Structure 1
Amino acid sequence: MRANALVVMAKAPLAGLVKTRLVPPLTPEQAAELYRALFLDLLEGLKGFQEADLFVAFAPDESAPWFHDTVPSAFACFPQCGGDLGERMSRVFAELASRGYRSVALIGSDLPGLPASHLQEAFRRLAELGHEVVLGPSRDGGYYLIGMSRHLPEIFQGIPWGSNRVLRATVERLSVLGIRTHFLLPWFDIDTVQDLHYLKSIAKQWTVHLPHRTLRFLEELDTKLLNG
């Protein structure tokens, strides 16, 4: 057992459950296929990560067979519990703290090309430099990573989940509570057609961390479909 835990927060790639803001122009089935590609690409990029034990926290509960059959053996899977996103994340932190992990970081499941250096820096800040919380800002006003050196359930309370104010509201809460926080370099997730265009525009610059399944999916999509 390592001192750190890294958790991917994931949903089953079911039509109508994931990437609903991409429907239309995508069909629910295409959106689910895209999500599956993003998720599997992320896991492939992470499975050699040595700084933390690896987990997938999944939803809904009944999707357990799919996750256990699909997720690489480098990851341990367990179900998410709770109501809104904040409660579910808080319970994941509590679960892993109870197992003895000193630093825990949660990330989203749709982060194409996420550099391992971002994750390494998160754990370095938590373990060596005395930060209690680490946040990775995303382009949409939320965050792609949250890490803690101790469980702080109060920072998930009163946050407008699903809005573009998630990061700002969280930072305000941390400030009120006097919690020492470090901000990582920004990264992006995929929620809108504009995000897909952004991914295509920067993918040619990458020499590592290529999300092969995701890029192949985009190549197969009709260009006119994405252009609306």
Structure 2
Amino acid sequence: MKSKNLLLIFTRNPEFGKCKSRLANKVGKQTALDIYKFLLDHTVSITEKLESTKAVYYSEEIWDNDIWNNDIYQKKLQKGEDLGVRMKNAIEDGFNTGYNKIIVIGSDMFDLNQKDLELAFEKLNSSDFVIGPAEDGGYYLLGMKTLEPSLFTNKNWGTETVLKDTLDNLKNKKTEVLDTRNDVDYYEDIKDISAFKPFLKNIKQ
């Protein structure tokens, strides 16, 4: 094992009509898929040079020949009936394999860069947990040095209560809270960001 740090990237297989459904309601399924692929490319660009082991966890099936280079990324399948169970299983697997610090992120964060990820791993030198709050009341990053099962149960995933409930679980733990960032779920999240303008030129305000 080259690194004791493990980055888990949770991703949906980019298939027509199966990703970014809330965004698709406004921009259409093809544009939502194009935007999601753009976000996946961004996630590759901010993770491929990161000095840690990296594993991509696919939602539906593992794709061998895609944007995730097999020489850089381990490829695995998410397992579990909801997001919490899937994250817990992936993190537990990482600790069982011998990693000391594990961070999980999604793959739809345009407002994130490699330095943010390096900082998050650094924060785990002096804290037991690190969390990156999202503007919508969820989180875009969660990191830890030990598995804390309560973080993955009794959450309404995809709602604005997830961050608060997770921080409640961590109130007696040494936790570092990162800067709040914007994730991409709705048209309003991207309409004023210049990088997304080419995708939105035909969308009526």
TM-score bracket for the superposition, by shorter chain length: over 0.9
Following the alignment from structure 1 to structure 2, what is the Cα–Cα distance between the partners of residues 164 and 192?
14
Matched residue of 1:150: which SS? Answer: coil
**TM-score normalised by structure 1 residue count:** 0.84
Q: Is 1:55 aligned with 2:77?
A: no
Cα gap change, 1:95 to 1:144, in 2 (>3 Å): same
Following the alignment from structure 1 to structure 2, what is the Cα–Cα distance between the partners of residues 192 and 42?
18
Q: In the TM superposition, what is the alpha-carbon distance from 1:41 to its structure 2 partner? A: 1.6
Q: In the TM superposition, what is the alpha-carbon distance from 1:152 to its structure 2 partner? A: 1.2
Q: In the TM superposition, what is the alpha-carbon distance from 1:113 to its structure 2 partner? A: 4.5
Identical counterparts, % of pairs: 27
CA offsets 1:145-190 (integer angstroms, 9 cap, x no match): 0001011112211111110111011111222xx2221101122211
Q: In the TM superposition, what is the alpha-carbon distance from 1:220 to its structure 2 partner? A: 4.3
Q: Which residue of 2 aligns with 1:135?
A: 131
Q: Please, which of 171, 175, 178 is the counterpart of residue 184 of structure 1?
A: 178
Is the CA contact (8 Å cut-off) linking 2:54 and 2:74 kept in structure 1? Answer: yes
Is the CA contact (8 Å cut-off) linking 1:118 and 1:185 kept in structure 2? Answer: no
Following the alignment from structure 2 to structure 1, what is the Cα–Cα distance between the partners of residues 42 and 204?
21
Q: Which residue of 1 aligns with 2:86?
A: 88
Computed over aligned residues only, the root mean square deviation of the Cα atoms, in angstroms, reads 1.5
Q: In the TM superposition, what is the alpha-carbon distance from 1:37 to its structure 2 partner? A: 1.3
Q: In the TM superposition, what is the alpha-carbon distance from 1:194 to its structure 2 partner? A: 0.7
Moved over 6 A (4+): none
Q: In the TM superposition, what is the alpha-carbon distance from 1:114 to its structure 2 partner? A: 1.2
Q: Which residue of 2 aligns with 1:39?
A: 40
Following the alignment from structure 2 to structure 1, what is the Cα–Cα distance between the partners of residues 57 and 204?
31
Which residue type is aligned with residue 111 of structure 1?
M
Matched residue of 1:23: which SS? Answer: helix
For structure 2, list consecutive stretches of 5 or more residues without a partner in the other structure: none
Cα gap change, 1:221 to 1:155, in 2 (>3 Å): closer
Q: In the TM superposition, what is the alpha-carbon distance from 1:30 to its structure 2 partner? A: 1.8
Query: Between Structure 1 and Structure 2, which shows a larger proportion of helix residues?
Result: 1
Q: Which residue of 1 aligns with 2:152?
A: 156
For structure 1, list consecutive stretches of 5 or more residues without a partner in the other structure: 201-214
Matched residue of 2:17: which SS? Answer: coil
**TM-score normalised by structure 2 residue count:** 0.92
